[in-house]
């Protein structure tokens, strides 16, 4: 799940624009992101305005998922 490379846009309310690339037809059409006990349901394939903390959590989770997948590939190659 990669985001499109777009310039970081901040509106007057201090929110940033987030776009989550849709994956395949059988996948969930939304992405759930929780920050400080508040849940944000972000539709995939649409631009939405979110607080900067939500964008930061989305980027952190993508980085962690990428690292996890790398570890799985490395460890299964050794087995």
Tokens representing 28? 């969930």
* Domain residue ranges in the chain: 16-78
Q: Give the pLDDT score at 34.
A: 96
HSE-CB of 9 using CA atoms within 13 angstroms = 10
Between 79 and 60, where is the model more confident?
60
pTM here? 0.76
Contact, 48 vs 55, CB < 8 A? no
At 2 the pLDDT is 52
The 10 Å Cβ neighbour count of residue 34 is 11
């Amino acid at each position: 799940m990669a985001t499109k490379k777009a310039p970081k846009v901040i509106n007057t309310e201090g929110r940033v624009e987030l776009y989550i690339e849709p994956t395949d037809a059988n996948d969930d059409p939304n992405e759930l992101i929780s920050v400080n006990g508040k849940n944000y349901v972000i539709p995939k394939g649409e631009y939405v305005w979110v607080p900067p903390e939500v964008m930061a959590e989305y980027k952190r989770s993508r980085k962690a998922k990428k690292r996890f997948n790398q570890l799985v590939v490395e460890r299964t190659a050794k087995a």
